[in-house]
Structure 1
Amino acid sequence: MDNIKLLQNKVKMFCEEREWDEFHNPKDLAIGISTEANELLDIFRFKTEKQMDEDFEKMRPAVEEELADVLFFVLRFAQKNNIDLQEALNKKLDKNAQKYPIEKAKGNNKKYDQL
């Protein structure tokens, strides 16, 4: 079993022990992903690049917690909806490799339609 599936099973067991299945439909899990991602973003709000560099170690615990929350919801969404995250990521990387060929995208932050 790969690491992603192990993590999904850990999250599944955690949720099942608490009888949360009824609350974990696609809409509510997607809202959870978005909410937690915004809580991560909020950590950096109104900070300059210099402040982020200087203060990152102080922010690290909060960043790690919010990243874990995002991951929790992503894993749960995939587990509840039979999505193979490894396969989905591989497909997306293949698709992005076509959109962002190395010779055009290397060192460039432009969107694929502007390369």
Structure 2
Amino acid sequence: MTELERLAAHLQQFAEARDWEQFHTPKNLAMALAGEVGELVAEFQWLTAEESSAPDPPTLARISAELGDVTNYLVRLADVLGVDLVQAAEAKLASSERRYPPDLYRGSARKAPPDPHP
């Protein structure tokens, strides 16, 4: 069992013990995930580029907590939907590798056309 699978199982047990599975619909989990991403973004909102690269310990602790929330909701959502999160991420990376060949995009932030083979 991978670390991600262990986390998914722990989150499932956590929800079951509290009878929260009834609330863990994909819609609700996606909305909760979006809210937590917003809380993560808020931690960076007024930081300079330099501050965001090396946050002070209290800020880093808050960022870490928000990353934990984002991860938990993302893993729970994927588990409820039966999506292999690592496989989905690898597939997306493969798509990005096709869309952004290094010889054409190195050092560039421009957007590529949509991948015809998602």
1:10-57 Cα offsets, whole Å, 9 max, x none, are: 111111111110000011000011000000011112232244356443
- The alpha-carbon distance between structure 1 residues 103 and 57, as it changes in their structure 2 partners (threshold 3 A), is farther
Provide the secondary structure at the position in 2 that maps to 1:109: coil
Aligned positions, number: 113
More helix per residue: 1 or 2? Answer: 1
**What is the aligned partner in structure 2 of residue 62 from structure 1?**
62
Greater relative CO, 1 or 2 (CA 8 Å, sep 6+)? 1
* TM-score for the superposition, normalised by structure 1: 0.89
Tell me the distance in 1 between the aligned counterparts of 2:50 and 2:92: 33
Extract unaligned runs of 5+ from structure 1: none
* TM-score for the superposition, normalised by structure 2: 0.86
Tell me the distance in 2 between the aligned counterparts of 1:71 and 1:59: 18
1:74-98 Cα offsets, whole Å, 9 max, x none, are: 0110111111111111111111111
- The alpha-carbon distance between structure 1 residues 57 and 77, as it changes in their structure 2 partners (threshold 3 A), is same
Extract unaligned runs of 5+ from structure 2: 114-118
Identity of counterpart residues, as a percentage?
Answer: 28
- The alpha-carbon distance between structure 1 residues 54 and 76, as it changes in their structure 2 partners (threshold 3 A), is closer
